[in-house]
Every structure is written in structure tokens, then in C-alpha cells.
Structure 1
Amino acid sequence: MNFDLTFFAVMVPAVILMGLSKGGFSGLGLLSLPLMALIVSPVQAAAIMLPILIIQDVVTVWSYRHEFDRRNLATLIPGMLLGVLAGYLLAAKVSDAVVGFAVGVISIGFALRRLLGGKAASAPVTKANYGAGSFWGVICGFTSMIAHAGGPPFQIYVMPQRLPPAVFVGTGALFFALMNWIKVLPYFILGQFSPQNLTASAVLFPVAILSTLAGVWLVRRVPAERFYTLIYWLLVAVGVKLVYEGLRPLFG
């Protein structure tokens, strides 16, 4: 891997998108890996991104350390652990395109129903519970391991609760920080933490930190209703992308 102009032209925007996503604008991060895959393999892109995610998690968790919902974490984490384990065991047998397609369809349907089927703000406010939390926790863990698409299931579960934006972001920060650390062992076993990949990650650390701080700054200045409307539309965009990626092998 050469750290040339092409490397930085692709990798820097990818890390900025992930940083803004980690800072609070969930959904943008799913655009990062396909962008990185333009110059490296998808598996290598994911391996390079994992240490970057962990560094960004440190920034986000510290920024929102007093703003998170404990009940949501309690309802999501047990299912997430099972989902990650299932994803690791079934990774060789399940197509990431199929999983991404399914997540994309669900995401588009959920977001459009909220946006177009009556104002999102007037929709009934839900509460965290162990039944739904366990289900979506499993989906988050599984899709994150298979297709790096754990964000949309988390949003589908948590967004209808209409938490304050900072609490919504802080809860996701803690949840995904834990999941990323859990992923370290499978990536290590797969031999993805090569000196070359770790060097690429380290080169991008400054961009990762600055872009995450920018996302945190923006979230704290966007009104709650505008924030949620933006997140719903981002969820639609991500869903469309996942559906496209899932269908592309059929026409390739």
C-alpha cells in the first residue's frame, strides 16, 4: 500500500464521513467502507477502519460520558453479544450482500413511514424494553459482523423513543464502542492486524479525531426536531445504498 495522493484522496474523505457519523450523524459512516474499497479490498478496508473506529469511540464516549440511556444499553447489549457471535460463526456461510439488502429494505420502510406517514414528532413515543431491545441487539451485532451495518437496526430501535439528541448519540457511542472492542479478537484471529494495515490506520488518526469532534460540535448546535429529521433522511439514503449493494451481484 502506497501512502500517495490517491490513498489520501480516498481515505481522508472516508474517515471524515465516519468521524461525522461517530460524532452524531449516524448513517454517514456506512459510506466509508465502500469508498475505501476503491483502492483496497473490502476486508482490508474494514481492518484499517477498526482501529480508527476505536480511536473515534474514545473521543465520542468522552464527549458524551454524562449523556446516555442506561436502560437502552441494558436491553441491547445481551442480544448484541449473541449477534456478534452468530455473525462470526456464520460469516463464511452468509452473504453480506443479502444481509445488507434486508437491512436496507427495513431501514427505508421504517424511515419513510416516519417521515411521510404523518410527522415523526407526532408518532407515538416508545420506551426501551427487553423484548425489542434483545431482538434489535441481535440484529445489530449480526449485521455489524457480516456487513458492517449495525447502525440502522440501532436507529430503528432507539429513534422512536425521541431521546434528546445528545443522549441518543451518547447511548450509541457506548454501545458501538463496546461492540468494536469485541470485534478485535475475530479480526486478530483472521490475521487482519498486519503492520501495513495498522500503519495506514495510524496515519489517519488525526483526521479521525478532528472529524469526530466536528460531529460532536454540530450535534450540540442542531435543534432536536431538525436533528431527527436529518437522521431519518440519512437512514433512507443508507437503506438505498444497502439495497443497491445487495442487488448489484444479481446484475453483475
Structure 2
Amino acid sequence: MDIALIWPWLLLGLFIFFAFTTEAMTGFGSIVIALSLGALVLPIPEILPVLVPLNIVMSSTLSWRHRHNIHWPTLWKLILPLMVLGTLSGYGLRPWLGDDYLRQGFGLLVLWFSSRELWRMFKGIEVRSHASWWSRCWMFLAGITHGLFASGGPLLVYALSGLQLDKQRFRATLILVWLSLNSLLTVVFLFDGSLLPAAPKIGLLVPVVIAAMLLGEWLHHRVNEERFRQAVFVVLWITGLILMRP
């Protein structure tokens, strides 16, 4: 097989290992990091049917492990109705956007998210709560970005800023959100014909995800999480700039 065809997927495997290790360690970022870096070497529509099912491997494992911390009222009454509607709307928009617009739009999202987090860290800004209507608008927009890029996390975290949940409940609830929405997207990919061609790559990359989960769990107790998050956001900020180029 032509090495030029294999090389981008080998790089994607490396990006997936880094991204999923980061999520296992810090609780965020598996798809947004892997897609940000992967979009530098492959088209987003080719990557998503691989990344989304792989995320289910991690989110299902973590959801089961932390099932007792899930805050069901927040999930069913607040997040999922708006996120599901937004996700389906975002998926419906994808045919209207070419690869360049998808890449640049995702780059803008990543740049905004990373800039906001780096600024908060630098200034020591506390998270403030939002009005209910404002949070719901951003949840719907988070669903749209999830339908477009399977990366609704940045906007959803912003929408839920100030929510009165402890860290464990917040994280466990969000993990189940991604399991639910990515399961929905996987079914959609099955029906639109993009899942089955990606199945061999998914099978080859499952061990990478498992290894990343194990390493992330080990690093969680040994590495300064705040410093690590800062380094990840710097990488994302640079990547966002590159993705936005014409």
C-alpha cells in the first residue's frame, strides 16, 4: 500500500492516543483534540465516522464506572432535549458546507475555546452562572457544533457554567451526554453509509484508545493537571490558527 495513503492515518492514531489520554486524565477533549490535529492531515468528514465510535468505547466505560454520580434531572430535563435537537440540525447543515468551510469553522471554534480557557487560567477568573434562557440557547448551539464536528463540549461547558453540581456529578453527567449523542451520530453514520467503510480503521484503533485510557488513569495521579491543561490549550490555540487559514 502507498505510504502516502497510510501516513495520515498513522498520524491520526498518534493524535488519538494523545487526545484520549488527555480525556482519561483530565475529563475533557478526546474528540476536539483528535479532530483539531487530525484535520491538519485528513478531511473532517473522513475523520468523524472513526472518532465518534471510538469515543463510545471510552465514554461507555467511564459512564459505567461513574454511574452513581450522574445527575439524571439535569441530563433529561435540561441537556439532552436541546442537544439532540441541535445535533440533528448540525448534521443537516453538513452537506451545505464544503471541507474548507468545515475546517475553518472548526478552527474558529477551537481558537475561541482555547483562548477563553487560557485567559481564564492566566487571570484566575471564576466561572459565573448564566441566565436560564442564555444557557438554553448555548446548549442548542452546542448541539449544532456536535452535529457538525462531534465537538459540542466547548459550548456546552460554557452553557453550563455556574451550574450547582459538584465536580464529580458534573463530569459524570457530561460523559453520559457524549455517550448518548455519539451513539446517535454513529447510527446516523450507519444510515448515511459512512460508518461501514470506516469500520476497519475503527477496529485497528480500539487498542490505541484502551492504551490511552490506561495511561491517562495512571497519569491522573502523577502529573500536575493544571499545567498539563495549559499545555493542551496552547496546542489547541496554535492548531485553531492553522485550521482557520484559507
2:89 counterpart of 1:91: no
Q: Which runs of 5+ in 1 are unaligned?
A: none
Match of 1:192 in 2: 194
Counterpart of 2:47 in structure 1: which amino acid?
A
State the Cα distance separating 1:146 from its structure 2 match: 1.4
The Cα shift of 1:83 comes to 0.9
The aligned length equals: 240
Local SS of the residue matching 2:96: coil
1:67 is matched with which residue? 69
- 1:82 aligns with 85
What pairs up with 1:227-238 in 2 under 5 angstroms?
A: 227=225, 231=229, 234-235=232-233, 237-238=235-236
Once the two structures are superposed, the pairs formed by residues 1-252 of structure 1 within 5 Å of their partners are 6=7, 9-25=10-26, 26-27=28-29, 29-36=31-38, 40-73=42-75, 74-94=77-97, 95-117=101-123, 119-120=124-125, 123=126, 126=129, 130-158=132-160, 160-161=162-163, 164-194=166-196, 196-219=197-220, 221=221, 227=225, 231=229, 234-235=232-233, 237-246=235-244, 248-249=245-246
Tell me the distance in 1 between the aligned counterparts of 2:8 and 2:107: 29
TM-score (norm 1): 0.76
TM-score normalized with structure 2 length: 0.77
SS at match of 1:167: helix
Secondary structure of the 2:68 match is coil
Partner Cα separation in structure 2 for residue 12 and residue 62 of structure 1: 25
Give 1:176 deviation, angstroms. 0.6
**Mapped contact 1:80–1:137 kept (Cα < 8 A):** yes
Q: Distance in 2 between matches of 1:206 and 1:146?
A: 26
Rate the CA distance shift 1:22–1:150 in 2: closer, same or farther, 3 A.
Answer: same
Q: CA deviation at 1:173?
A: 0.9
User: Are the aligned partners of 1:24 and 1:216 in contact in 2 as well (CA < 8 Å)?
Assistant: yes
Superposed CA deviations along residues 84-126 of structure 1, whole A, max 9, x for unmatched, are: 1211221122432453244235424532442233x24xx2653
Q: Check conservation: 1:104, 1:242, Cα contact below 8 A.
A: yes
Please give the secondary structure, in 1, of the residue aligned with 2:46: helix
Call closer, same or farther: CA 1:176–1:2 in 2, change over 3 Å.
Answer: farther
Question: Alpha-carbon deviation of 1:198?
Answer: 0.5
Q: Distance in 2 between matches of 1:124 and 1:214?
A: 30
Q: 1:13 to 1:96 in 2, by over 3 A?
A: same
Q: Could you tell me the percent identity over the aligned residues?
A: 19
Q: Identify if the C-alpha distance between structure 1 residues 222 and 61 changes in structure 2 by more than 3 Å, giving closer, same or farther.
A: farther
> Could you list the runs of 5+ residues in structure 2 that have no partner in the other structure?
none
Could you report, residue by residue, the CA deviation over 1:145-174 in whole angstroms, capped at 9, with x for unpaired residues? Answer: 213332211232345458554433322211
* Cα distance in 1, alignment partners of residues 117 and 164 from structure 2: 14
Kept in 2, the 8 Å contact 1:63–1:216? The answer is no
Query: CA–CA distance in 2 between the matches of 1:231 and 1:168?
Result: 18
1:68–1:168 Cα contact (<8 Å) kept = yes
Q: Secondary structure at the match of 2:195?
A: coil
CA distance in 2, matches of 1:105, 1:45: 20
CA-based RMSD of the aligned residues comes to 3.4
Letter in 2 for 1:244: I
